[in-house]
Amino acid sequence: MNRLKKLELRGWKSFRSVGLDLGRLNVLVGRSGSGKSNLVSLFKMFNELIGERMQAYIAGHGGSEALLYNGSRETPMLDASFHFETETGESRYCVRLVHAAVDSLLFTEEKLEFHRLGFDHPQSDVLGAGHRETKLNREANRGNDTARVIRGLVGSCRVFNFSDTSSSARIRNRCYAQNDRFLMPDAGNLAAMLARYQQQSPECYDNIVETVRQILPGFDTFLLEPKPGQENYIRLNWKETGNSHIFGAQQFPDGTLRAIAIATLLLQPQENLPTVIILDEPEAGLDPLAISVVAPLIERTADRCQLIVATQSSAFLDYFEADDITIVERIDQETKLRRLSAEELEPWLDEYDMNEQWEEKPVGEAS
């Protein structure tokens, strides 16, 4: 299984300088504002970078001043290094981005490395400097195998956040039936993906349905047939056991709908899984029953695909080993990452729980 072995980062948002060693399952826990979302957003930007949309991402997220640690006056450059482990060796993608005019970032270095197993020295390719968008795609299309592999690895580190389940959210409304190549980051094409698995991967589909039955007692199955005259579109309809009435996605409780999206993401066929799944606050809005189903599912999926999970729920951590957990803390305006032993983690969580409960008390309420 290909995996992201290490991430080195300097100058990104609240990260002054950090190195993160990664395993099969990586659960990041910290209070709101600690920097978890800043790490998640790095992967979002690199998804856009691979698609040659980096400048659009920067402009849409406050410009380079909002992305560099304490702004460009203190931190004029961003350095990021992705170390991947594959069957044939180790691949590394390194970029250095510098603050430039119009509040943008320009490449001052873009470098590829491949260290084949059994060889003493890595092969390096420097893709130049001064460009506004990556040259990775150009090199891959020219036949550079290292560029092709790294493009696939970085592009397959995908972020998912299913927090938007409002009435206008795409997950609750009809979607294009042919939009079924892969699950979208907000699960906006959930109905199309389930229909595809129902037709092409029945075992996978059955596993998803059985998981939903554990989360929502009384759930029978999905009804994913397009309406006559609307064959290009599909809705997330469903029914209950012993009830002939057809329900729509609007009838799913928020937490249940999020749990369905998570189950669909994690139970998809092996060949469709990303290299790395970055799952942002999967516990949000889930009741204890749903968490008891989703958390073990995350643990099992880590045997098939590497996962990075960001959470602020200490109760969610009960389902994971101490070795899988990384503490995220904001100290002197800087995000720090650290791992604790099982003995050290327990008192930390006790203190964390007390702090969270205190922060949630209404103003003026006695302690």
DSSP state of 274: -
Q: Can you give the residue ranges of every domain in the chain? A: 1-156+274-367, 165-270
Q: What is the pLDDT of residues 191-224, one digit of tens each?
A: 999 999 999 999 999 999 999 999 999 999 999 9
Q: How many residues does the chain have?
A: 367
DSSP-derived 3-state class of residue 193: helix
Q: What is the pLDDT of residues 156-173, one digit of tens each?
A: 999 999 999 999 999 999
Q: Calculate the alpha carbon distances from 268 to 152, 213, 273, 278, 306 in Å.
A: 19, 17, 7, 15, 14
Q: What is the pLDDT of residues 33-70, one digit of tens each?
A: 999 999 999 999 999 999 999 999 999 999 999 999 99
DSSP-derived 3-state class of residue 246: coil
Q: Is the pTM of this model over 0.75?
A: yes
Is the CATH number of domain 1-156+274-367 3.40.50.300? yes
> Quick one: which of 268, 263, 250 has its CA closest to 290?
263
Residue 228 pLDDT level (bands cut at 50, 70, 90) = confident
The strand pair at 276-280 and 157-160 is best described as parallel
